[in-house]
């Protein structure tokens, strides 16, 4: 049965800008650069032809849906497929610790993946202007201004703390800034050695487990990793580095609970990928149950939208704002009803498809614990 590849036009090209991926694809089997998402689902519920997603060109994708309808599960399917695609470097920001199963044994082809339990970034991966917000202070107040100055002066958190200690600001301001930076040090996410874009782009998927971190340090990790991957593809040194750690593979950054990151200090780095990532070949797949909490640019810049069931009017409206003319029915009326079912809006082919997303080849860790399952387990043990 013919596989339809979403995100790719009939002649095999996509709307995305030319990148070095073109060179990789020359003479190669185009199917190797597409990943199976599932099958077409007809109106009567019957299963149609396979549907794949294009991994040859960079894309900006959204996966949305209310709790329990398969958003994280589908993100996992996409990571599995990206990991099996040559020339792609998948990196997952995992705020809930539900993608750890990607590193377990897979059914079918290997899914080479590693989990990093304590992700770190360089302090200077966060632009100085964003340091005050990161540590919860106002850049227009003396404490925030001192934190900003420290970030401009020193590339490491230790160096920033020294700058604050040595400053001639008033005692209260100095103490308050020192306290903020001490708390940031307690997050244990700042390390002058990390992350290395080349290590992240060695071909295996990397899952950055942020489940032990609050929103602010999780945002710091996402911002630092996004900036490192973007800079590496541009072949320019990340802040503070002297060499140019270019990477050949095309990074795909997968972010679950994306609203947390678009509302935090990571937002600017994610927006940069959305608006300028195609030329250097950096892709973003953002998943959220609350599309209305994303900035408008996250919806308008996405060229692939995988829509699981959504019922809140504000969320449906946020997506409908990007509703293309080729979506023939009202988005609310086209909403999938069952978990694992999705409406895929493909701007490249200017088409929508109803897809039954395939089952995971690695264990999915997202289901909520259920009392009924616990009771059954206790009964079996007795
Ligand atoms: N394509 C699928 N095939 C089989 N089962 C699925 C599929 N998609 C979802 N499910 C089932 O639905 C459950 C809920 O999916 P998932 O954990 O992805 O929900 P979610 O929308 O991400 O919710 P949350 O916001 O709580 O993370 C999964 O644990 C799985 O059992």
In this structure, the residue with its CA closest to atom 1 of ligand 1 is 340
Taking the CA of residue 73 as reference, the ligand 1 atom at the shortest distance is 18
Residue from 339, 344, 363 to probe ligand 1 pocket by mutation (most atoms less than 8 Å from CB): 339
Q: Tell me: pLDDT of 231 over 50.
A: yes
Q: Is the ipTM of this complex over 0.85?
A: yes
3-class DSSP state of 147: helix
User: Crossing angle of helices 142-153/171-186, nearest 10°?
Assistant: 60
Residue 216's pLDDT is 94
In this structure, the residue with its CA closest to atom 6 of ligand 1 is 340
83 pLDDT tier (thresholds 50, 70, 90): very high
Q: Tell me: pLDDT of 303 over 70.
A: yes
Residue 16's pLDDT is 41
In this structure, the residue with its CA closest to atom 7 of ligand 1 is 340
Q: What is the mean pLDDT of the chain?
A: 87
195 pLDDT tier (thresholds 50, 70, 90): confident
- The CATH code for residues 4-122+191-357 is 3.40.50.300
Ligand 1: distance of its center to the CA of 292 in Å?
21
Contact between 311 and 275 (Cβ < 8 Å) = no
Residue 20's pLDDT is 37
Mean pLDDT value of segment 207-227 = 95
Protein residues with CB under 6 Å of any ligand 1 atom: 65, 67-73, 289, 339-340, 357, 359, 364, 366-367
In this structure, the residue with its CA closest to atom 31 of ligand 1 is 367
* pLDDT tens-digit map of 304-314: 999 999 989 89
Taking the CA of residue 70 as reference, the ligand 1 atom at the shortest distance is 18
Provide the whole-model pTM.
0.89
Higher-confidence residue: 104 or 373? 104
Mean pLDDT value of segment 60-79 = 96
* pLDDT tens-digit map of 15-65: 443 343 433 333 345 678 999 999 998 878 888 999 999 999 999 999 999
Residue 66: partners with Cβ closer than 8 Å, 6 or more residues away: 289, 308, 309, 310, 311, 312, 315
Residue from 69, 70, 78, 308 to probe ligand 1 pocket by mutation (most atoms less than 8 Å from CB): 70
Q: How far is Cα 121 from Cα 89, in angstroms, rounded to an integer?
A: 18
Helix (H), strand (E) at residue 379 = helix 371-381
Ligand 1: distance of its center to the CA of 364 in Å?
8
Which among 293, 295, 291 is positioned nearest to 316, based on CA atoms?
A: 291
Mean pLDDT value of segment 311-323 = 84
CATH 3.40.50.300 location in the chain: 4-122+191-357
């Amino acid at each position: 049965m013919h596989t339809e590849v979403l995100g790719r036009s009939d002649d095999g090209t996509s709307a995305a800008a030319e990148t070095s991926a073109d060179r990789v694809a020359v003479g190669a089997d185009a199917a190797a650069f597409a990943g199976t998402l599932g099958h077409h689902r007809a109106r009567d519920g019957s299963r149609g032809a396979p549907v794949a997603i294009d991994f040859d060109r960079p894309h900006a994708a959204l996966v949305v849906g209310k709790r329990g309808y398969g958003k994280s599960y589908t993100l996992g399917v996409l990571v599995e497929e990206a990991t099996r695609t040559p020339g792609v470097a998948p990196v997952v920001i995992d705020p809930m610790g539900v993608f750890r199963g990607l590193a377990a044994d897979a059914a079918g082809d290997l899914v080479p993946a590693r989990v990093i339990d304590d992700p770190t970034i360089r302090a200077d991966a966060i632009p100085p202007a964003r340091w005050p917000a990161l540590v919860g202070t106002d850049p227009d107040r003396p404490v925030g201004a001192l934190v900003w100055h420290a970030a401009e002066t020193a590339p490491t958190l230790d160096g920033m703390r020294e700058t604050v200690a040595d400053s001639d600001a008033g005692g209260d301001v100095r103490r308050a800034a020192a306290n903020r930076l001490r708390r940031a040090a307690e997050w244990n996410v700042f390390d002058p050695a990390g992350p290395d874009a080349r290590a992240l782009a060695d071909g295996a998927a990397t899952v950055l487990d942020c489940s032990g971190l609050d929103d602010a340090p999780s945002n710091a990790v996402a911002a630092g990793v996004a900036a490192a991957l973007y800079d590496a593809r541009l072949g320019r040194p990340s802040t503070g580095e002297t060499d140019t750690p270019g990477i050949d593979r095309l990074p795909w950054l997968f972010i679950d609970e994306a609203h947390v990151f678009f509302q935090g200090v990571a937002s600017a780095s994610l927006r940069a990928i959305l608006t300028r990532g195609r030329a250097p070949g950096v892709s973003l797949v953002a998943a959220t149950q609350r599309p209305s909490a994303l900035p408008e640019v996250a919806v308008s810049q996405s060229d692939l939208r995988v829509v699981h069931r959504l019922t809140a009017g504000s969320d449906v409206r946020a997506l409908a704002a990007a509703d293309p003319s080729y979506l023939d029915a009202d988005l609310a009326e086209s909403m999938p009803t069952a978990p694992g079912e999705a409406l895929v809006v493909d701007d490249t082919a200017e088409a929508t498809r109803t897809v039954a997303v395939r089952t995971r080849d690695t264990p999915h860790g997202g289901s909520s614990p259920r009392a009924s399952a616990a009771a059954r387990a206790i009964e079996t043990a007795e």
